[in-house]
Structure 1
Amino acid sequence: MKKRTVAIAALMSAFMAGSAKAQSSVTLFGVTDAALTHASGSLSNTTGLTGGGNADNRIGFKGTEDLGGGLKAGFWLESGFNIANGTGIATNTNNQNSGISSGGGLTFNRRSTVSIGGDWGEVRLGRDYTPQYWNIGMYDPFYQVGVGASQILMSYLPALQGGGSGPAVWASNSVSYIYNMPFNGLTYGGGGFYGQAMYYRGNNPSNLPNSSDGNGYGIRVGFIGANLTVAIAHGQTSYETGNTQQDNIGASYNFGIIKLTSMFEHDRFSSITANGFLVGATAPAGQGIARIAYSRYQYDISHDPSASKLAVGYVYPLSKRTQLYGTYAHVWNTGGNAASIPGSTTGPNEPSNGFQLGMTHSF
């Protein structure tokens, strides 16, 4: 018995020593967010429980392993879900309309990557956020979620023209190189210049007329200073019906008592263009954070249809992991446009309103 105990202790010691040397780690993380939401338009209204009013619902697993010599390997699997009914959100397998799934079960739709990196940067493979999306999400005080999300993606040109959204947010079948980027899966940005370049494929057979559909690339470069951040991005995706192109630039400056943000977007689908912009601010208010944003998106077609949104909100922390929040948004339409808060419909040139009161818990 004594020999067996010694043997077990020696085995455990060797295992722990090996683990310490490898410095491997695996983390379970996620966000749960639910809100009572009311959306109204001139044609229909909806009141009910929704998710993602302050942060997208997700559950994920991420891990890293120290390979020695300054190298690290990593993985990231992240799944989005609807908290109101427990279903998974849709994904896209090939960056085309034909690859859109209806969701339902657990799919790692938000991110599924494996990577290797070091001080020189990171090479990442799989499904991931596109470089051209980051400026839209990061410079929006509402982080492109809930009724307050900027109108830029809500009115995205290729989706309006029947070209599908394409990889406006995520791209599947991608290879990326990332340097010193904030929220990097392996090494976190420490300020200064950073960048990301991505190439993705639609994975179509070469003998088909649409063999290039879903193929594309994106690139983003930026700078983080003590108070100032700025970034510029470009992305392009090929389709038989017409190529999509995104160009944007974003900036923020933290004055201490208030942080100002802004971004500008130029989109193209085939020969049609559209422009969007956002200006916003966040500021400490009591124990919480007040936020406000104005965004506008206009199409370069007959009558110049456009949609504008004003959103105001407040986030109150109950702890580092739990927050209460409220958001109100109002949409104006001109030129025959009929954009509305999700969950409602409105007529041409008619307004739409949305309100959310909810809670966010992260783990």
Structure 2
Amino acid sequence: MKKTLIALAAVAVTGAAFAQSTVTLSGQLDVSYGKLIGETKGTMSEVHGSRVRFLGSEDLGGGLKANFGLEERLRVDNGEASGVRFNGYSTVGLSGGFGSVNFGRQYTANFTNANNKADPWGGDTAGALRAIGMQTTYVRTANSVRYDGAFGPVKVAASVGLKEGAATKNDTSFAVSYAAGALEVGLGQDNGADNGDVLNAFATYDLGVAKLAFGLGNKETGAGVETKGWLIGATIPAGPGAARVGYARAKNDTTGVTTNAKFAIGYQYPLSKRTRLEADFARDSKAAAEKSGYTVALTHTF
């Protein structure tokens, strides 16, 4: 639950009223114990990415707002920062009736609006299927511009990571999705600069007794190696929590070799609205060694 730290209401100074500004603090902390596929022993770590998030907004009038976001990543088990400062994102931008435009380090359009939609685990824990079934170039890009807009049931997003530093060309990303009732479908594409091209498609349908998901992914590297993947999954309400089950498969289409065939199952149990326990198990029959993995995690959001 987000907590408002600062709220500056309209203040009259010499008869002029200043627009309202807010800054909120939110985030999550998680710690886990487990062994991912390919690892030889269990360790204490994290599976969701602990984070502290600052979000701010200022009403500029006429339906226009100025916004910013800063998300710092860290590890609870040892207190270390994760990667660069504000590894989650660091953005500033404007929003209004046209949608929103943000600048800075941020998620690609394909990742948030297509790539991350089908996996019941959202790419986290030992059960994660996203990297196999959906394929990825970049999750985030620095020095980027992103647009998001909603037009009735249709959402569109586009982002460009500018050619700076070692990059030899821009990283472009696009996604479009349609949601109506229990159904959501979408398509996303990345031209991942020096990391290849990706095309993802997904569909989810909530039956009430289970939310079903299907995804397809295709990736071609700059060297011409093509990988195709797919995944199916379901999130099933069970008791106070939810069970998750899924399967993902990937094939190197250039060599004809199946590289992954992963089955996963797990359960998430809420201790409260903000605290949960979860346990997941997975097995990839195509893994070179240590084909099985597991995680048990405690996560608290605030």
* TM-score normalised by L of structure 1: 0.74
**In 1, are the aligned partners of 2:229 and 2:251 still within 8 Å (CA)?**
yes
Contact map agreement 1:129 1:170 (CA 8 A) in 2: yes
Pairwise CA RMSD of aligned residues? 2.3
Which runs of 5 or more structure 2 residues have no equivalent in the other structure? 1-7
Q: Which residue of the partner structure matches residue 3 of structure 2?
A: none
Query: For residues 190 and 37 of structure 2, what CA distance do their matches in structure 1 show?
Result: 34
CA displacement at 1:168 relative to structure 2: 1.7
User: In 2 relative to 1, CA 155–24 (structure 1 residues): closer, same or farther, beyond 3 Å?
Assistant: closer
Q: Give the share of equivalent positions with the same residue, in percent.
A: 33
Q: Aligned pair 1:65/2:47, yes or no? A: no
Amino acid at match of 1:199: V
Structure with the higher fraction of residues in strand conformation: 2
Give, in angstroms, the shift of residue 57 of structure 1.
1.2
User: Which 4+ stretches in 1 moved above 6 angstroms?
Assistant: none
1:280 to 215, 219, 233: 233
The letter for the 2-side match of 1:332 is: S
1:36 equivalent to 2:51? Answer: no
In 2, the alpha carbon distance for the partners of 1:264 and 1:40 equals: 22
| Map 1:22-101 → 2, pairs under 5 A | 22-39=19-36, 41=38, 45-52=40-47, 55-91=48-84
Structure 1 residue 250 corresponds to structure 2 residue 189: no
Specify which of 219, 242, 260 is matched with residue 212 of structure 2: 260
Give CA deviations for 1:282-304 in whole Å, capped at 9, x if unaligned: 01100101111111111123351
Query: What is the Cα deviation at residue 22 of structure 1?
Result: 1.7
**Greater Rg, structure 1 or structure 2?**
1
> 1:150 offset after TM fit, Å?
1.0
Pick aligned residue for 1:358 from 292, 297, 300? 297
**Structure 1 position 155, deviation (Å):** 10
Residue 152 of structure 1 contacts residue 295 of structure 1 at CA under 8 Å; is this kept in 2? no
The counterpart of 1:194, out of the listed 147, 152, 155, is: 155
1:117 paired to 2:69: no
Task: Tell me which residue corresponds to 1:103.
Answer: none
Aligned length: 289
Q: Counterpart of 1:185?
A: none
Distance 1:16 1:74 in 2: 17
The structure in which a higher percent of residues are helix is: 1
- Conserved in 1, the CA contact under 8 Å of 2:133 and 2:215? no
Contact 2:9–2:19, Cα closer than 8 Å, also in 1: no
Q: CA deviation at 1:315?
A: 0.7
* Change in 2 beyond 3 A, CA 1:23/1:120: same
Unpaired runs of 5+ residues, structure 1, are 1-14, 92-106, 157-164, 181-188, 205-209, 339-345
For the residues of structure 2 that align with 1:138 and 1:84, how far apart are their CA atoms?
Answer: 28
Task: Tell me if 1:290 matches 2:243.
Answer: yes
SS in structure 1 at match of 2:123: coil
Corresponding residue SS for 1:87: coil
- Conserved in 2, the CA contact under 8 Å of 1:155 and 1:297? no
How far apart, CA to CA, are the structure 2 residues paired with 1:248 and 1:28? 33
Instruction: Name the counterpart of 1:234.
Output: 189
Pick aligned residue for 1:168 from 130, 138, 141: 138
| Rounded Cα–Cα distance in structure 1 between residues aligned with 2:86 and 2:169 | 19
Shift in Å, 1:31: 0.6
1:127 to 90, 105, 113: 105
**Distance in 1 (alpha carbons) for counterparts of 2:261 and 2:163:** 33
Q: CA separation in 2, counterparts of 1:214 and 1:67?
A: 35
1:9-24 to structure 2, matched below 5 A, reads 16-18=9-11, 22-24=19-21
Q: 1:268 and 1:58 mapped to 2: Cα distance?
A: 32
Letter in 2 for 1:323: R
Distance in 1, Cα, partners of 2:176 & 2:234: 23
